[in-house]
Amino acid sequence: MNPPAGEPRPVVSGALVRAHAYVAFLGFVIPLGFALILAAKFVWPDFLGSVPWLQFGRIRVFHTNGVIYGWLSTAFLSILYYVIPKLAGRPLLSERLAWWTFWVWNLGLVLGLGAILAGQMQGIEYAEFPPLADVVFAAGFVMALVNLLGTIFASPEKQLYVSSWYFILGFAFTALNYVMANIVPTFLAPGAAGAAITGLWIHNAVGLWITPIGVGLVYFFLPVLLKRPIYSHALSLVGFWTLSFFYPLGGAHHFFFSPIPWWLQVLAVPLTVVLFAVVATVIYNWLATLKGEWKQVPGNMALRYLATGIIAYFATCTQGPFHTFFSVQKVIHFTDWVVAHAHLALLGAFTYFNLAAFTYIWPRVTGKEFYSKKLAESAYWMVTIGFYVFYFLPLTALGLVEGYLWMSPAPFAESVIQAIPFWFSRLIGGVLIYGGLCAFAYNCWMTHRAGARAPAAVLEEAEAAGVAI
């Protein structure tokens, strides 16, 4: 809450960061629990089949919306409540508004995710919340926008650091994009035109919400963790402006081989491939910043998560333009290759960016040292091995198996039989990832409750930066 008039406000409210972080942790504990049931259903289709709210159609949507809004986006708010005041060099515009936002946002999440389990949803991918939940959730989003961007605009700093540019882009674009997704396909342009719009929405949700906020966070935490400036500010702005300009244009690539006009699908190819150049500037900048400093990576857990995420981001954005070519599309489209790609981006890259951020800020917003270094170490390896060895690689390979089988005269059922061992591997990977992420959350919780005092240097730094624990 804002202190009485006359008393200076702390720059960062630890309580606000922690409250959002705990909701974000629930945002993976619950939807990933459902993901395990989902993954089991691929291996044993009748598993829990008689329970209506555990049907595939409901829990798949619960999983995707749960991780995108409950985990990634709520974690973004938590981390931004730490990062934006520090970038702006001043407290949040209003801490009271931020607490109201917390309740409205969470009410939107509960209504939306609850409705999905109850089978009440609209048919727009990643925007399945029904209208009432949409309105509440969108209100929470706008409240966060006003507070966070308002803090940036009220900053005494004359120049905006590149992270702030990305945050402004992410919030401003998503406010418009969310309205477009929820109104245009249903009310103004049903049919194929509406389908094209939902493709644009999906594309922008990952590319102009998750991407700019996550990329902005890397631009903030990489120099902080390495204690050296970013390699090139000019290059960072090239990446920013080209993303803003080119990214929205390729949305039709989510609906290849669908009833949308063929010219639109063909045009989507060059407009997507050009994104590789955009991403290359960003990756080059990060790698050049890391140059000569890789030796720090193994011993620093936050940096380790960040570096692993950067490699995954590089892989995602190399894979993306490659699988856009029609020669590759005709093999991988509709296969598990795409599911692996989606997880490489959202789990391999952006979940790791968030874990890096939490690893860095948690001692600073609790004043405590991490409860267990062993648990932190196990969490990293469980998620990393679970994902790459048992999930990403097998599903990518499965995508090729499915694609080539579908082009052969073999019956479709053959591809399902061949897929079972790969899907079983995903289930094992899922258990490891789930265990690792729960260990991470438990470690943070126990740090707050029972961790030893953080080292004096960390406490002094937090105090000097105006963090109220």
Compute how many other C-beta atoms are within 10 angstroms of the C-beta atom of residue 8: 8
Q: Which one, of 256, 307, 265, lies nearest residue 283 by Cα? A: 307
Q: Closest distance between ligand HEM and the C-beta of residue 369, in Å?
A: 27
Which amino acid does the sequence have at 180? M
Q: What are phi and psi of 368, to 5 degrees?
A: -120, 155
Q: Closest distance between ligand HEM and the C-beta of residue 50, in Å?
A: 20
Q: Which of 136, 210, 290, 441 binds ligand HEM (CB under 6 A)?
A: 210
Q: Which is nearer to ligand HEM, 162 or 346 (CB)?
A: 346
* Among 56-64, 155-163, 177-185, 218-226, the segment contacting ligand HEM (CB under 6 A): 56-64
* Residue 166: strand, helix, or coil: helix
* Among 32-40, 103-111, 145-153, 297-305, the segment contacting ligand HEM (CB under 6 A): 32-40
Query: Is there binding between residue 58 and ligand HEM (CB under 6 A)?
Result: no
CB 38 within 8 A of CB 391: no
Query: Is there binding between residue 144 and ligand HEM (CB under 6 A)?
Result: no
Q: What is the C-alpha separation between 52 and 72, in angstroms, rounded?
A: 27
Q: DSSP per residue over 401-464, as a string?
A: HHHHHHHSSS-HHHHHHHHHHHHHHHHHHHHHHHHHHHHHHHHHHHHHHHPPBPPHHHHHHHHH
Give the nearest residue (CB) to ligand HEM: 320
Query: Is there binding between residue 308 and ligand HEM (CB under 6 A)?
Result: no
Query: Is there binding between residue 63 and ligand HEM (CB under 6 A)?
Result: yes
Q: Which of 275, 282, 306, 441 binds ligand HEM (CB under 6 A)?
A: 275
Q: Which of 83, 347, 355, 379 binds ligand HEM (CB under 6 A)?
A: 347
Query: Is there binding between residue 342 and ligand HEM (CB under 6 A)?
Result: yes
Residues 6+ apart with CB under 8 A from 99: 1, 16
Residues 6+ apart with CB under 8 A from 132: 111, 115
Q: Which of 15, 29, 30, 36 binds ligand HEM (CB under 6 A)?
A: 36
Query: Is there binding between residue 211 and ligand HEM (CB under 6 A)?
Result: yes
Q: Which is nearer to ligand HEM, 343 or 368 (CB)?
A: 343
Residues 6+ apart with CB under 8 A from 468: 10, 12, 13, 14, 15
Q: What are phi and psi of 164, to 5 degrees?
A: -65, -40
Q: Which is nearer to ligand HEM, 39 or 467 (CB)?
A: 39
Q: Closest distance between ligand HEM and the C-beta of residue 429, in Å?
A: 7
Query: Is there binding between residue 280 and ligand HEM (CB under 6 A)?
Result: no
- Partner residues linked to 13 by β-bridges: 468
Q: Which of 67, 84, 93, 116 binds ligand HEM (CB under 6 A)?
A: 67
For residue 369, with 0-12 CB atoms within 10 Å meaning exposed, 13-18 middle and 19 or more buried, which class applies?
A: middle
Query: Is there binding between residue 124 and ligand HEM (CB under 6 A)?
Result: no
Query: Is there binding between residue 355 and ligand HEM (CB under 6 A)?
Result: no
Q: Which is nearer to ligand HEM, 196 or 206 (CB)?
A: 206
Q: What is the C-alpha separation between 89 and 408, in angstroms, rounded?
A: 61
Q: Closest distance between ligand HEM and the C-beta of residue 205, in Å?
A: 8
Q: Closest distance between ligand HEM and the C-beta of residue 154, in Å?
A: 30
CB 399 within 8 A of CB 338: yes
Q: Which is nearer to ligand HEM, 113 or 206 (CB)?
A: 206
Total residues in contact with ligand HEM, by rule CB under 6 A: 45
* Among 67-75, 111-119, 190-198, 218-226, the segment contacting ligand HEM (CB under 6 A): 67-75
Query: Is there binding between residue 430 and ligand HEM (CB under 6 A)?
Result: yes
Compute how many other C-beta atoms are within 10 angstroms of the C-beta atom of residue 257: 12
Q: What is the C-alpha separation between 181 and 178, in angstroms, rounded?
A: 5
Q: What is the DSSP pairing of strand 12-13 with strand 467-468?
A: parallel
Question: Which residues of the shown chain bind ligand HEM in the complex (CB under 6 A)?
Answer: 32, 35-36, 38-39, 60, 63-64, 67, 71-72, 125, 202, 206, 210-211, 253-254, 256, 272, 275, 279, 316-317, 320-321, 323-324, 329, 332-333, 338-339, 341-343, 345-347, 350-351, 426, 430, 433-434
